Chains A and B, each alone.
Chain A
Amino acid sequence: MQIDLRTVSIKPLRQTFDHIARRIGPDKAATRYQEGTLDVQATHNFHYRPTWDPDHEIFDASRSAIRMVDWYAFKDPRQFYYGAYTLARAKQQETAESNFDFVEGRGLADSLPDALKDTVLKLLLPLRHVAWGGNMNGAFITAYGYGTALTQPCLYHSMDQLGIAQYLTRVGLLLGDDPSVLDEAKKSWMEGEAWQGLRRYVEDSFVLKDPLELFVAQMVALDGLLYPLVYETIVDDVLASQGGTPIAMLTQFMTDWYSETRKWVDATVKTAAAESPENKALLEKWITHWRDRAASALMPVAQLALGNQADSLTSEVVSQFNARLAKAGVTL
Chain B
Amino acid sequence: MDMKVSKKKLGLKEKYQHMTRGLGWETTYQSMDEVFPYAKYEGIKIHDWDKWEDPFRLTMDAYWKYQAEKERKLYAIIDAYAQNNGHLSVTDARYINAVKLFLNGISPLEYMAHRGFAHAGRQFPGVGPRVACLMQSLDEIRHAQTQIHSLSNYNKYYNGFHEYRHMLERVWYLSVPRSFFDDAITAGPFEFMVAIGFSFEYVLTNLLFVPFVSGAAYNGDMGTMTFGFSAQSDEARHMTLGLEVIKFILEQDPDNLPIVQQWIDKWTWRGYRVLTLVGMMMDYMLPKRIMSWKEAWEVYFEENGGALFKDLARYGIRPPKWLDQIEQDKDHISHQAWATFYNYAAACNFHTWIPTDDEMDWLSQKYPNSFDKYYRPRLEYWREEAKKGNRFYNKTLPMLCQTCQIPMIFTEPGDPTQICYREVDYKGNKYHFCSDGCKEIFEHEPEKYIQSWLPVHQIYQGNCFNEGVDPTAEGFDPLAAVLDYYHLNFGRDNLDFEGSEDQKNFDAWRGMATKNT
Q: What 0/1 readout, one digit per residue, does chain B (240-276) give for beta carbons within 8 Å of chain A?
A: 0000000000000000000000000000000000000
- B121 in the interface, Cβ–Cβ < 8 Å? yes
User: Among A62-70, A86-94, A113-121, A261-269, which stretch is in contact with chain B?
Assistant: A86-94
What class of interface size applies to chain A in its complex with B? 35 or more
Shortest CB distance B24–A (Å): 6
| Residues B122 and A143 in contact, CB atoms below 8 Å apart | yes
Number of B residues, CB within 8 Å of A: 96
Expressed in whole angstroms, the Cα–Cα distance for A200 and B23 within the complex equals: 16
- Taking a contact as CB atoms under 8 Å apart, the answer to whether B118 and A89 are in contact is no
| B498 interface hit (Cβ, 8 Å) | no
B388: CB under 8 A from chain A? Answer: no
Q: With A and B bound together, what is the CA distance between A185 and B159 in angstroms?
A: 59
User: Is B138 in contact with A17, judged by CB distance below 8 angstroms?
Assistant: no
Q: Measured between alpha carbons, how far is A235 from B130 in the docked complex, in Å? A: 31
Task: Confirm or deny: A24 has a beta carbon within 8 angstroms of a beta carbon on chain B.
Answer: no
User: A15: which B residues are within 8 A, CB to CB?
Assistant: 156
Given contacts A18-B487, A82-B138, A90-B65, contact A186 B162 (CB under 8 A): no
Docked-complex contact B30 and A16, CB < 8 angstroms: no
Distance from B468 Cβ to chain A, minimum over Cβ atoms (Å): 18
| Cβ-defined contact, A17 with B165, below 8 A | yes
B425 to chain A, nearest CB (A): 21
Query: Contact between A158 and B35 (Cβ–Cβ < 8 Å)?
Result: no
How distant is the Cα of A139 from the Cα of B24 in the complex, in angstroms?
Answer: 15
Residue from the list A90, A132, A139, A143 in contact with B23, Cβ < 8 A? A132
Contacts A15-B156, A204-B29 hold; do A96 and B112 have CB atoms under 8 A apart? no
Q: What's the minimum C-beta distance from B458 to chain A, rounded to whole angstroms?
A: 8
Do residues B84 and A47 form an inter-chain contact, with CB atoms below 8 A?
no
Q: Is B214 an interface residue (CB 8 A)?
A: no
Note all chain B residues with C-beta closer than 8 A to A159: 60, 63, 134-135, 138
| Known contacts A158-B134, A182-B18; A82/B487 CB under 8 A | no
Contact B138 A7 (CB under 8 A): no
Closest A-chain residue to B115, C-beta based? A143
**Contact present for A45 and B149 (CB under 8 Å):** no
Given contacts A51-B186, A58-B186, whether A83 and B118 have CB atoms under 8 Å apart is no
**Chain A contacts of B18 at CB under 8 A?**
169, 173, 179, 182
Query: Can you list, as one digit per residue, whether each of B430-458 has a CB less than 8 Å from chain A (1) or not (0)?
Result: 00000000000000000011011100001
Contact A178 B8 (CB under 8 A): yes
**A210–B487 alpha-carbon span in the complex (Å):** 34
A207 to B15, CA, bound (A): 30
- Among B138, B165, B186, the residue within 8 A (CB) of A40 is B165
Given A166-B19, A189-B25, decide whether A81 and B145 contact each other with a Cβ distance below 8 A.
Answer: yes
The distance from the CB of A175 to the nearest CB of chain B, in whole angstroms, is: 11
A142 → B minimal CB distance (Å): 4
Pick from B83, B108, B159: contact of A42, CB under 8 Å: B108
- Interface contact B115-A142, CB-CB below 8 Å: yes
A14 with B10: CB separation less than 8 A: no
Most chain B beta-carbon contacts within 10 A, residue among A49, A58, A97? A58
Query: 27 A-B contacts, Cβ less than 8 Å apart?
Result: A10-B509, A10-B512, A13-B159, A14-B155, A17-B152, A18-B162, A47-B175, A48-B448, A48-B451, A58-B186, A82-B141, A83-B74, A96-B61, A139-B130, A142-B122, A142-B137, A143-B118, A144-B119, A155-B134, A159-B134, A162-B131, A163-B60, A169-B23, A173-B15, A179-B18, A200-B29, A207-B35
A47-B186, A144-B119 are known; give 20 further A-B pairs, CB within 8 A: A8-B509, A14-B155, A35-B145, A51-B186, A51-B187, A81-B145, A82-B138, A86-B64, A90-B67, A93-B64, A93-B65, A94-B65, A132-B24, A136-B130, A155-B114, A155-B118, A155-B138, A166-B59, A179-B10, A203-B35
Contact surface of A with B, Cβ cutoff 8 Å = 7-8, 10, 12-19, 30, 32, 35-36, 39-52, 58-59, 81-83, 86-87, 89-94, 96-97, 110, 128-129, 131-132, 135-136, 139-140, 142-144, 148, 151-152, 155, 158-160, 162-163, 165-167, 169, 173, 177-179, 182, 186, 189-190, 199-200, 203-204, 206-207
